[in-house]
Chains A and B, each alone.
Chain A
Amino acid sequence: MRRVAILVVAAIVIAIGVFAWRTFARGPLAFAGGSTVALADYHEANPTGVPVGLAKADIVKRGEYLAKAADCMVCHTAQGGAEYAGGLAFPLPFGTLYSTNITADKDTGIGNYSDQEFLDAVRRGIRKDGARLYPAMPYTSYAFMTDADVLAIKAYLLSRPSVHRENQRDTLQFPFNQRWSMIFWSLVFNPNTRFAPNTEKSAEWNRGAYIAEALAHCGDCHTPRNLAFALDNRRKFAGAVAAGWRAYDITSDKGTGIGSWSDEEVFAYLAKGHAMGRGTASGPMGEAVDHSFSQMDPADIRALVAYLRSVPAVASSAPATIAPPAPASPKEGGAISDALGRKVFAQACVSCHSWTGVSALSPFATISGNRAVNDPTATNVAQIVVSGTRRLAPGAMSMPAFGSTYTDAEIAAVANYVTGRFGGAASKLTAKDVADLRGQTAR
Chain B
Amino acid sequence: MTSTRAALSRRIVLQSGLAGGLVLAFQWPLRAAPVNEPEQAPDHPDGQFAPNAFIRIDNAGKTTLVIPQAEMGQGVYTAIAMILAEELDADFAQVVIKHAPASDKLYANPLFGIQVTGNSNSIRSFWDKLREAGAASRAMLIAAAAAQWQVDAASCSASNGKVTHAASNRTLTFGELADAAAKLPVPDKPKLKEPKDFTLIGKPLKRHDTPDKSDGKTIYGIDAMVPDMKFATLAQCPVLGGKVKHVDDSAAKKVPGVRQVVVLGDIVAVVGDHMWAAWQGLDALKVIWDEGPNAKISSADIWNDLRAASKKDGVVAKSEGDIDKGLTQGERFDADYELPLLAHATMEPMNCTVRLTPGTCEIWTGTQVQSRAQEYAAKAAGLPIDKVTVYNHYLGGGFGRRLEPDMVESAVRVAKEVSTPVKVVWTREEDMQHDVYRPLYRDTISASLSNGKIVAWKYKVTGSSVLARWLPPAFQKGIDGDAVDSAVDMPYDIPNKRVDYVRAEPPGVTTGFWRGVGPNNNVFAIESFMDELARKANMDPVAFRLGMLDGTPRLKAALKLVAEKSGWGSPLPARVGRGVCAQPSFGSFIATVVEAEVDDAGGVHLRRITSAVDTGIAVNPDTIVAQLQGGLIFGLTAALWGEVTIEKGHVQQSNFNNYRMLRIDETPPIDVHVIKSAEHPGGIGETGATAGPPALRNAIYAATGVPLRRLPIDRAAIAVKKA
Contacts and interface: CB of A to CB of B under 8 A. Distances in A.
Interface of A: 340, 343, 346-348, 388, 400-402, 404-410, 431
Nearest to A406: B660
B717 interface: no
Interface of B: 601-603, 641, 652-653, 655, 657-660, 663, 665, 715
Contact of A400 (B601, B603, B658): B658
B655 A400 contact: yes
Given A402-B657, A407-B603, 7 more contacts: A400-B657, A405-B641, A405-B658, A407-B602, A407-B715, A409-B601, A409-B603
Nearest to B280: A394
A404 B660 CA distance: 9
A236 to B, nearest CB: 38
B601 A407 contact: yes
A414 to B, nearest CB: 13
B722 to A, nearest CB: 9
Contacts, number: 33
Nearest to B600: A409
Nearest to A342: B665
A400 B660 CA distance: 13
A347 B658 contact: no
A346 B68 CA distance: 41
30 contacts: A340-B603, A343-B665, A347-B663, A347-B665, A348-B657, A388-B657, A400-B655, A400-B657, A400-B658, A401-B657, A401-B658, A402-B658, A404-B653, A404-B658, A405-B641, A405-B657, A405-B658, A405-B659, A405-B660, A406-B660, A407-B601, A407-B602, A407-B603, A407-B715, A408-B601, A409-B601, A409-B602, A409-B603, A410-B603, A431-B601
Nearest to A394: B280
B668 to A, nearest CB: 14
Nearest to A408: B601
Contacts of A404: 652-653, 658
A346 B665 contact: yes
10 smallest CB-CB distances across A and B, nearest first, come from A400-B657, A409-B601, A405-B660, A404-B658, A347-B663, A405-B658, A402-B657, A431-B601, A343-B665, A405-B641
B60 to A, nearest CB: 49
Contacts of B657: 348, 388, 400-402, 405
B522 to A, nearest CB: 27
Nearest to B657: A400
A65 to B, nearest CB: 21
Contacts of A402: 657-658
Among A340, A405, A409, A410, the one with the most B-chain Cβ atoms within 10 Å of its Cβ is: A405
A428 to B, nearest CB: 15
A232 to B, nearest CB: 36
A343 B655 CA distance: 20
Contacts of A401: 657-658
A50 B626 CA distance: 68
Contacts of A388: 657
Contacts of A406: 660
A400 B652 CA distance: 13
A401 B653 CA distance: 11
Contacts of A340: 603
Contacts of B652: 404
Nearest to B650: A80
A4 B659 CA distance: 51
Among B601, B641, B659, B663, the one with the most A-chain Cβ atoms within 10 Å of its Cβ is: B601
Nearest to A400: B657
Nearest to A409: B601
A261 to B, nearest CB: 31
A229 B602 CA distance: 38
B496 to A, nearest CB: 43
Nearest to A432: B722
Nearest to B645: A404
B307 to A, nearest CB: 24
B597 to A, nearest CB: 13
B719 to A, nearest CB: 9
Contacts of B665: 343, 346-347
A404 B641 CA distance: 10
Nearest to A80: B648
Contacts of A431: 601
Among B602, B657, B663, B715, the one with the most A-chain Cβ atoms within 10 Å of its Cβ is: B657
A280 to B, nearest CB: 17
Contacts of A407: 601-603, 715
Contacts of B641: 405
A431 B657 CA distance: 19
A181 B425 CA distance: 60
A346 B666 CA distance: 12
B605 to A, nearest CB: 10
Contacts of A408: 601
A343 B663 CA distance: 10
A388 to B, nearest CB: 8
Contacts of A400: 655, 657-658
Contacts of B659: 405
Contacts of B602: 407, 409
Contacts of A405: 641, 657-660
Among B653, B655, B658, the one with the most A-chain Cβ atoms within 10 Å of its Cβ is: B658
A222 B665 CA distance: 41
Nearest to A412: B601
B422 to A, nearest CB: 26
A407 B712 CA distance: 13
A346 B715 CA distance: 22
A408 B600 CA distance: 13
A342 to B, nearest CB: 10
Nearest to B648: A80
Contacts of B601: 407-409, 431
Contacts of A409: 601-603
Contacts of B663: 347
Contacts of B715: 407
A340 B600 CA distance: 13
Nearest to B665: A343
B712 to A, nearest CB: 10
Contacts of A346: 665
B108 to A, nearest CB: 41
A154 to B, nearest CB: 27
Nearest to B715: A407
Nearest to A343: B665
A211 B114 CA distance: 70
A409 B715 CA distance: 11
A406 B715 CA distance: 11
Nearest to A348: B657
A409 B601 CA distance: 7
B720 to A, nearest CB: 12
B584 to A, nearest CB: 34
A163 to B, nearest CB: 15
Among A343, A347, A402, the one with the most B-chain Cβ atoms within 10 Å of its Cβ is: A347
Nearest to B722: A432
B589 to A, nearest CB: 35
A410 B640 CA distance: 14
